[in-house]
Amino acid sequence: MAEPLLISLKETKKLFTTYKCVELNDGSGNGQVLIDEDLFVYIVERYDGLSRMMEFVHNVEDRSTYLSRHTYEINMRGFNMASNQLIIKKLKKKSQVLSDLY
């Protein structure tokens, strides 16, 4: 699972206060923050795009790990086949030498 994006409280406060569309609900004492619809849509779109990007990156990492593992296995099989061919060539030369002796 992708790690969440961490934003400090100071940066969040700066964003909210510079946007000038933030109001604190001071009457109840529970500290709710009221923002306008445009800011809400902006935050949701930004987070949604970021979460999709993180999901895409995670999928790419999974696929690259899968390909890397299988490429390694294919390469090892190729090395085994090449070494087997060299062994067969050496055995063929030795068998020819033995055949020439007898």
Asked if residue 12 lies in contact with residue 6, where contact means CB atoms within 8 angstroms, the answer is no
Residue 23 belongs to some domain of the structure:
no
Does residue 67 belong to any structural domain of this protein?
A: yes
Q: Residue 25 domain-assigned?
A: no
Is the pTM higher than 0.85?
no
Tens digits of residue pLDDT in 44-65:
777 777 778 888 888 899 999 8
Q: Is residue 41 part of a domain?
A: no
Which pair of tokens denotes residue 32? 């709710």
Is residue 17 domain-resident?
A: no
> Would residue 34 count as lying in a domain?
no
Q: Which of 47, 43, 5, 2 is nearest to 22 (CA)?
A: 43
For residue 26, being part of any structural domain is answered with no
Decide which of 15 and 79 is more confident. 79
Query: What are the pLDDT digits (tens) for 3-50?
Result: 656 667 777 777 766 665 555 555 555 556 667 777 777 777 777 777
Range of the domain at 68: 53-102
